[in-house]
C-alpha cells in the first residue's frame, strides 16, 4: 500500500484515507465530513462590536443632555464598540483584495453605529428644522397640489418650486401607510448612506484597483461626513443623485485616444486603475439621453445641487479625457429651464442679491447667522469641525504631492472636488455655503486622504525603504482613523442638545398653531424649533432674532415695543417661545447669555401680550393691540 505524503495527510483524498473497498473508520476523514475552520476575524469583530453597541443603546441618556450634547451621555461600551469596529476594519484590509466584503461590512456597520442611535431612540424628529420638511409633505397630501408662485412666509415658497423630494415622500407615506414622514425621517442618514456606498465605490474603482485604498476612502468619507446634510431634507437626495451622475460620467464618457501614457502601467501608480474603455459619439449620446431624467430629478429636488453639478461637469471638460460639451449643455439647459419656470420667483430673487454678495469671500464663508458659537458643546463642535477639515485637507494634499502618478491618473476626481470652491465668491447661501462646498468636495478629498495612508503595492521586490513605508502605514492608518473618529463625535453630536426636542414641546407648539386663526402671524426667535412651520400655508411667520447679535441686543432693551412695531395693524399675532429656541439662540450666538430668559420674562410681563399657555418647555403669548392703544394715550 502506498504511504501518504505529508501534503496528502493534511487534506487526504477519500481513497487514500479509507482504501478501496474498506469502510471508513471513526478516525477517517470522508467527503461527508467537512473540517471546521476557525471563525474569520472580520466576523468576530463585527459580532463583538454589535453586542457592545446593542448593550450601550438603552443606556444612552439622551433625555438628560447637558452642555456637551450626547458626548458625555454615551456609555463607555458605545465608544468601545467603535474602537472594535475600527480594529476589525484595519484587520480586514489585509484581505481586501480577496475578500472585499469584510471591509464593506465594516463600513456599513460603522455607518449604522455612528448615525443610528437617534433613529432608534428618539421620540421626535432629529433637527427641529427638519419638521418643516414633514410639514411640506403633509400640506402636499392635504391639498393635492403645488403652488410654486404663491408667496408663503418662512421662506417656504422654495419648497413648492423644487418639490421632487416632497413628492417622493408623499408617495412613500401613502405606500407605507404611516401617519406622516416623521415616522421614518430619522432613518434618512442611514438609508442615504447605504445607497451612497456603492456609488462611492464605483467612483473610486474608476481610478484605483486597490481594494484597500477604496474601502479606506469610503471609511474616511463616513467619518468626515459630519456636516449633517444627509438628514431628512432635499439636499441629501439631490447629493446622492449628483454623485450617481458623476459616477456614470467617469465610467462611460471617456473620449477615444485620450488616455495617452496612462494606458501604460509603467506610467501609472501601482494602485491606479487603467482608464475605462473609450466610448464613441453614439454611445455617449445614448448615455446623455439616459442621464437626462436623472439630471432633471436633481433640478426638481434642490436649488444649489444643479449648480454644483454643472460646475463639476465644466471642470471635467478641462481634461481631454472627459471633454463632452453635449452633456454640459444638456445639464445647463435643464437647470435654466427649471429656474425660469417652476423656480423663477426664487431664481429672480437670488439674482437680485448677487450684487451685494459677489466677491464677499469672508461673508460668504460664514457659518449660520452669527457665526459665533457659544457654550462648551457648540464651541467644541466648532473647533472639531475646523480640525476635521484641516486634517482631511492635509492628508489629501500630502497624497497629491507624494503620489503624483496616482494624482495624474485621478486628476478628474481632483478637479471635481475642487470645482465647488469658487462658489465662495458668489453667495453665502444663507450661511450654508461653507458646509455645502465641503460636502461636495468630500468624495475626492476622502480618496486622496486614503491614498496618503495606504501604501502602494508594487510587485514582489522588497527593499528597506518599502518595508519602512509599510511599517509606518501599519501605525499611521489606525492612528489617523482613530483621530478622525475622535473628531467626528463632537462634530456630529456636540450640539445634540439643540437637535433633540421633547415630545411635550412639540405638542405645545402644535396646539398653539392649530388654535391660531388662518392668517395669524406667528413670532419666534428662530425657525429652529419643532413644528415651527406647521400649517405654513395658512399662517404668517416672523423669526425676529435671525439677525446679527448687535441688533438683537438692541431688541432686548424693549422686546415688547420692538415686536409691536413690526406687527402689521389688524393682524392676529402670537409669540411662541420654546426650550429649543433657548438652546439654539444661545448655542449659535444669536442672543447673549441669559438673553432668552430676559426676552421671555419681559414679554410675559408686558401688558401688550397675554399668556395663552405656559409650560416648562415653552410659553405661548397673544398680542393685544387694544392694550397698546390704551397705554399710549
- Assigned C-alpha cell, 330: 444638456
List Cβ neighbours of 603 (8 Å cut-off, separation of 6 or more). 559, 560, 563, 575, 577, 609, 621
Hey, is 487 helix, strand or coil?
A: helix
Backbone torsions φ then ψ of 430, nearest 5 degrees: 65, 35
Backbone torsions φ then ψ of 619, nearest 5 degrees: -140, 145
Q: Residue 258: pLDDT above 50?
A: yes
How large is the average pLDDT for residues 588-607? 92
Contacts 24+ apart (CB under 8 A), 122-125: 122/62, 122/186, 122/500, 123/503, 124/500, 124/501, 124/502, 124/503, 124/506, 124/530, 125/182, 125/185, 125/186, 125/232, 125/501, 125/530
| Rg of the chain on CA atoms, in Å | 29
Tally of CB atoms within 10 A around 517: 9
Model confidence pLDDT, tens digit, residues 334-384: 999 999 998 888 888 777 777 766 655 555 455 554 457 778 888 898 899
Model confidence pLDDT, tens digit, residues 149-199: 777 777 788 888 999 999 999 999 999 999 999 999 999 999 999 999 999
How large is the average pLDDT for residues 382-396? 92
Closest CA to 319 of 364, 400, 258: 258
Residue 1 CA neighbour count, 13 Å, CB half: 8
- Say how far apart CA 176 and CA 334 lie, in whole Å: 32
pLDDT band at 453 (very low <50, low <70, confident <90, very high): very high
- Say how far apart CA 416 and CA 441 lie, in whole Å: 7
- List Cα–Cα distances, 598 to 352, 553, 607, 609, in angstroms: 37, 11, 16, 15
Hey, is 206 helix, strand or coil?
A: helix
User: What's the confidence (pLDDT) of residue 228?
Assistant: 84
| Minimum mean pLDDT range among 26-30, 254-258, 360-364, 610-614 | 26-30
Backbone torsions φ then ψ of 323, nearest 5 degrees: -85, 90
User: What's the confidence (pLDDT) of residue 3?
Assistant: 42
User: What's the confidence (pLDDT) of residue 629?
Assistant: 52
- Report which DSSP code applies to 69: B
Give the residue, 602 or 28, on which the prediction is more confident: 602
Model confidence pLDDT, tens digit, residues 545-572: 988 888 999 999 999 999 999 999 999 9
| Residue listed under C-alpha cell 477517517 | 28
Crossing angle of helices 188-207 and 234-252, rounded to 10°: 20
Model confidence pLDDT, tens digit, residues 116-126: 999 999 999 99
Q: Residue 9: pLDDT above 90?
A: no
Model confidence pLDDT, tens digit, residues 13-54: 333 333 444 444 444 444 444 444 455 777 899 999 999 999
User: What's the confidence (pLDDT) of residue 84?
Assistant: 96
**Residue 541's beta-bridge partner residues?**
522
Closest CA to 134 of 506, 519, 520, 523: 506
- Report which DSSP code applies to 424: G
Sheet holding 609-615, edge to edge: 540-543, 521-524, 573-578, 618-623, 609-615
- Assigned C-alpha cell, 599: 426676552
- Say how far apart CA 44 and CA 56 lie, in whole Å: 18
List Cβ neighbours of 28 (8 Å cut-off, separation of 6 or more). 17, 18
User: What's the confidence (pLDDT) of residue 431?
Assistant: 62
Amino acid at each position: 500500500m502506498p504511504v501518504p505524503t505529508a501534503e496528502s495527510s493534511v487534506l487526504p483524498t477519500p481513497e487514500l484515507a479509507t482504501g478501496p473497498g474498506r469502510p471508513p473508520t471513526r478516525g477517517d476523514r470522508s467527503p461527508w465530513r467537512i473540517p471546521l475552520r476557525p471563525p474569520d476575524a472580520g466576523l468576530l469583530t463585527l459580532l463583538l462590536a454589535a453586542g457592545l453597541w446593542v448593550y450601550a443603546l438603552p443606556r444612552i441618556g439622551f433625555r438628560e443632555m447637558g452642555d456637551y450634547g450626547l458626548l458625555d451621555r454615551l456609555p463607555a461600551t458605545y465608544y468601545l464598540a467603535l474602537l472594535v469596529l475600527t480594529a476589525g476594519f484595519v484587520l480586514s484590509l489585509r484581505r481586501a483584495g480577496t475578500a472585499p466584503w469584510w471591509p464593506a461590512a465594516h463600513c456599513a456597520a460603522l455607518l449604522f453605529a455612528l448615525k443610528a442611535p437617534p433613529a432608534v431612540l428618539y421620540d421626535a424628529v432629529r433637527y427641529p428644522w427638519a419638521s418643516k420638511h414633514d410639514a411640506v409633505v403633509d400640506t402636499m397630501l392635504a391639498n393635492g397640489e403645488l403652488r410654486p408662485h404663491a408667496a408663503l412666509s418662512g421662506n417656504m415658497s422654495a419648497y413648492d418650486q423644487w418639490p421632487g423630494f416632497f413628492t417622493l415622500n408623499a408617495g412613500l407615506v401613502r405606500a407605507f401607510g404611516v401617519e406622516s414622514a416623521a415616522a421614518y425621517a430619522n432613518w434618512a442618514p442611514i438609508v442615504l448612506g447605504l445607497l451612497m456606498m456603492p456609488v462611492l465605490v464605483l467612483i473610486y474603482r474608476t481610478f484605483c484597483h486597490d481594494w484597500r485604498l477604496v474601502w479606506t476612502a469610503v471609511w474616511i468619507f463616513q467619518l468626515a461626513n459630519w456636516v449633517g446634510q444627509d438628514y431628512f431634507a432635499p439636499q441629501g437626495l439631490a447629493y446622492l443623485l449628483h454623485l450617481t451622475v458623476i459616477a456614470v460620467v467617469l465610467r462611460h464618457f471617456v473620449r477615444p485616444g485620450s488616455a495617452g501614457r496612462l494606458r501604460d502601467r509603467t506610467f501609472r501608480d501601482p494602485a491606479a486603475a487603467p482608464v475605462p474603455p473609450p466610448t464613441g459619439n453614439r454611445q455617449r449620446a445614448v448615455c446623455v439621453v439616459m442621464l437626462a431624467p436623472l439630471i432633471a430629478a436633481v433640478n426638481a429636488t434642490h436649488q444649489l445641487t444643479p449648480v454644483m453639478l454643472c460646475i463639476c461637469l465644466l471642470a471635467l471638460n478641462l481634461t481631454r479625457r472627459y471633454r463632452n460639451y453635449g452633456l454640459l449643455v444638456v445639464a445647463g439647459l435643464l437647470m435654466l429651464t427649471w429656474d425660469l419656470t417652476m423656480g423663477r420667483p426664487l431664481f429672480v430673487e437670488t439674482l437680485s442679491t448677487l450684487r451685494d454678495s459677489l466677491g464677499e469671500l469672508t461673508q460668504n464663508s460664514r457659518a449660520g447667522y452669527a457665526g459665533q458659537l457659544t457654550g462648551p458643546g457648540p464651541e467644541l463642535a466648532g473647533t472639531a469641525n475646523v480640525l476635521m477639515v484641516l486634517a482631511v485637507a492635509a492628508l489629501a494634499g500630502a497624497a497629491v504631492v507624494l503620489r503624483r502618478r496616482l494624482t495624474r491618473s485621478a486628476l478628474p476626481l481632483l478637479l471635481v472636488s475642487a470645482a465647488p470652491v469658487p462658489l465662495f465668491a458668489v453667495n453665502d447661501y444663507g450661511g450654508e455655503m461653507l458646509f455645502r462646498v465641503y460636502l461636495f468636495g468630500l468624495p475626492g478629498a476622502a480618496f486622496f486622504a486614503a491614498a496618503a495612508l495606504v501604501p502602494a503595492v508594487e510587485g514582489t521586490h522588497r527593499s528597506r525603504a518599502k518595508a519602512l513605508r509599510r511599517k509606518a502605514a501599519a501605525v499611521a492608518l489606525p492612528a489617523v482613523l482613530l483621530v478622525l473618529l475622535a473628531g467626528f463625535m463632537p462634530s456630529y453630536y456636540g450640539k445634540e442638545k439643540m437637535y433633540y426636542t421633547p415630545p411635550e414641546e412639540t405638542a405645545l407648539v402644535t396646539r398653539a398653531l392649530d388654535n391660531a386663526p388662518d392668517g395669524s402671524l406667528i413670532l419666534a426667535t428662530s425657525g429652529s424649533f419643532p413644528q415651527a412651520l406647521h400649517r405654513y400655508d395658512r399662517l404668517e411667520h416672523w423669526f425676529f432674532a435671525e439677525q446679527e447679535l448687535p441688533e438683537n441686543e438692541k431688541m432686548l432693551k424693549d422686546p415688547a415695543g420692538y415686536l409691536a412695531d413690526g406687527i402689521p395693524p389688524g393682524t392676529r399675532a402670537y409669540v411662541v417661545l420654546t426650550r429649543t429656541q433657548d438652546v439654539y439662540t444661545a448655542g449659535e450666538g444669536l442672543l447673549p447669555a441669559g438673553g432668552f430668559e430676559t426676552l421671555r420674562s419681559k414679554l410675559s410681563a408686558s401688558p401688550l401680550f397675554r399668556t395663552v399657555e405656559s409650560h416648562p418647555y415653552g410659553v405661548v403669548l397673544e398680542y393685544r393691540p387694544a392694550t397698546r392703544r390704551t397705554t399710549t394715550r
